[in-house]
Amino acid sequence: MGPILVTNDDGVGAMGLDVLITSLRGLGHDVMVVVPAQNHSGRGHSVTLGPVRMDTQRFHTDTWGYVVTGTPVDCVRLALAGACGTRPAMVVSGINHGWNVGHQILGSGTVAAAREAAWHQVPALALSASEGASWETLTRMLLHFGDSWLMAAAQRRGQYLNINLPAAPAAVWCWVSLDPAPIVPEVIPATEPGRVQLLGRHQSSGAGQDAAPTDIQCVEQGTIAVTALQAYPAVGDQGAPEECWHAPLMMSSYEEDEHDHGKSIRGVFPVGSDGV
């Protein structure tokens, strides 16, 4: 079995990265690290178009790895392509500073790294934590549940686990669904003239008391939320297989104006007609 790739979107100096490396090493796993040089929070599944720089660096617990001038998805692709040594057997992304729940998974670089791995049939986890969680709290939960989550991810090829940790140590984790409520945009004037700040807040999903809790409700109640997500985008209604829609292709006819040498539209007509 190959090593576990550790990456994140908060960048090389994030506390969550050190916690994750320390915890996985404490569980006895071989760890390789490939992380972005800068913070890429909120940049989703973006990639770098062009060359990136890879520098070796020693991380926590004397773990060596690479710092990349690219995105979290770049880091995963480099590792899977063999540019960082042995191809990883699993990918663990995080621990993100702040929850990635509900619709936030679409913009999260932490989640995107796990999604990219799962797309390639490599088991993956995305870990995020309350902004108030301490090093000790996160380490306790990871050492207690980490192997269970890795095993669950290994059994779900083509899927990845999105895990959100509360601020206080939790003795329970639950399978939950994503909260379906949209993120409500809020525009706040900035102190500098001509600038504004765009924020987003979670809107209540309005679930009844008998409804199963969502990931947002779960972590707000102090429980660890674990959600299994498909790597492949969902496909909507494509219509019946035998359906095929036909419509005439429309073309424009241009005629050179003899007086000002400009272009004037003479008419728009279906292909094959005489345009008259």
The continuous run of DSSP H or E covering 207 comes out as: none
Residue range 21-25: average pLDDT?
Answer: 97
At 166-197, the pLDDT tens digits run 999 999 999 999 999 887 778 888 888 888 88
Check: CB of residue 223 under 8 Å from CB of residue 166.
Answer: yes
Per-residue pLDDT tens over the stretch 120-132: 999 999 999 999 9
> Could you give the domains of the chain?
4-230 (3.40.1210.10), 246-276 (no CATH)
| Residue 254 confidence (pLDDT) above 60 | no
pLDDT band for position 69 (cuts 50, 70, 90)? very high
- Going by the DSSP 8-state scheme, the letter that residue 211 receives in this structure is S
Mean pLDDT of the 220-228 span: 96
Q: What single-letter amino acid sits at 267?
A: G
* pLDDT, tens digit (0-9, with 9 covering 90-100), for 158-167: 999 999 999 9
Would you state the pLDDT for residue 197? Answer: 80
Cβ neighbours, 10 Å, residue 262:
8
Does 267 score more than 70 pLDDT? no
The pLDDT of residue 265 is: 46
Mean of pLDDT over the chain: 87
For residues 27 and 61, give the distance between their C-alpha atoms in angstroms, rounded to a whole number.
13
- H or E segment to which residue 75 belongs: helix 72-80
- What does the H/E/C string look like for 34-74? EEECCCCCCCCCCCCCCCCCEEEEECHHHCEEEEECCCHHH
pLDDT of residue 251: 65
- What tens digit of pLDDT does each residue of 233-246 get? 877 776 676 666 77
Look up tokens 């770098």; give the residue: 48
Q: In this structure, are residues 158 and 233 in contact, taking their beta carbons and an 8 Å threshold?
A: no
Amino acid at 20: L
Peptide bond into 95 cis (omega under 30): yes
Choose among 180, 173, 179: nearest CA to 215.
179
Helix, strand counts (H, E) of the chain: 5, 13
pLDDT at 268 over 50: no
Predicted local distance difference test score (pLDDT) of residue 273 = 46
CB 120 within 8 A of CB 80: yes
